Amino acid sequence: MAEDKEKAIDVNKLLQNKLKGVSVGALESGISRVVSELVGEDYKCTIGEVKYTLFSGADFHVKVELSYNPDEDN
């Protein structure tokens, strides 16, 4: 009976990697925004080479660093 309650895995959905449809720039912008909000300072993000995995994932290197703007008033 426990087997009847298990949810079936939708293999087609799993194989459709929707991350491929998101631009690297959009990911960088989103990560920068979230980090900046969490820390309270302006941060920028750069993402290295993206390798998409078979099962709806991606591997990439993320670099987050403080943005320096000398024109900003503190």
pTM of this structure = 0.71
Domain-by-domain residue ranges, the chain?
A: 9-66
Q: What is the pLDDT of residues 23-44, one digit of tens each?
A: 999 999 999 999 999 999 999 9
Which pLDDT does position 37 carry in this prediction? 97
Top-confidence residue, 19 or 54: 19
Q: What string of H, E and C letters represents the secondary structure of the chain?
A: CHHHHCCCCCHHHHHCCHHHHCCHHHHHHHHHHHHHHHHCCCEEEEECCCEEECCCEEECCEEEEECCCCCCCC
Highest average pLDDT, of 44-48, 52-56, 64-68, comes from 44-48
Tell me what percent of the residues of the chain surpass a pLDDT of 70: 85
